[in-house]
Amino acid sequence: MRLLLVEDDEELCEAVAVHLKKEGYESDICNNGEDAFYYISKFTHDVIVLDRMLPGVDGLSILGNIRRHGITTPVIMVTAMNGINDRIDGLDGGADDYLVKPFVVEELLARIRALLRRPRKMANPEVIKYADIILDTNTYVISREEKNISLSKKEGALLEFFLLHKETILTREQILNRVWGLNCFVEDGNIDNYIFFLRRRLKALDTNVIIKTVHGIGYRLECR
Q: Does 114 score more than 80 pLDDT? A: yes
Instruction: Provide the CATH topology of domain 2-120.
Output: Rossmann fold (3.40.50)
State pLDDT tens for residues 15-70.
898 998 888 888 899 999 888 888 887 777 889 999 988 888 888 899 988 887 77
The verdict on domain 124-223 having CATH code 1.10.3330.10 is no
Q: Does 221 score more than 50 pLDDT? A: yes
Q: Does 204 score more than 80 pLDDT? A: yes
133-136 vs 127-130, strand pairing mode? antiparallel
Q: Residue 14: in which H helix or E strand, if any?
A: helix 10-22
Residue 142 φ then ψ, to 5°: -105, 140
Q: What is the pLDDT of residue 115?
A: 87
Q: What is the pTM of this model?
A: 0.57
The residues of the chain that CATH labels 1.10.10.10 are: 124-223
d(CA 197, CA 195): 5
Give the start-end residues of each E strand in 9-65: 26-30, 47-51
75-79 vs 47-51, strand pairing mode? parallel
Those residues whose C-beta lies under 8 Å from the C-beta of residue 39, and which sit 6 or more positions away, are: 4, 28, 30, 45
Q: Does 87 score more than 60 pLDDT? A: yes
Q: What is the pLDDT of residue 121?
A: 46
Q: What is the pLDDT of residue 183?
A: 57
State pLDDT tens for residues 136-194.
988 999 999 889 999 999 999 999 999 988 888 888 888 887 788 755 666 768 889 99
C-alpha gyration radius of the chain: 18
Q: What is the pLDDT of residue 202?
A: 96
133-136 vs 47-51, strand pairing mode? unpaired
Q: Does 76 score more than 80 pLDDT? A: yes
d(CA 177, CA 52): 29
The residues of the chain that CATH labels 3.40.50.2300 are: 2-120
Q: Does 119 score more than 70 pLDDT? A: no
As to burial, measured by CB atoms within 10 angstroms (0-12 exposed, 13-18 middle, 19+ buried), residue 11 is exposed
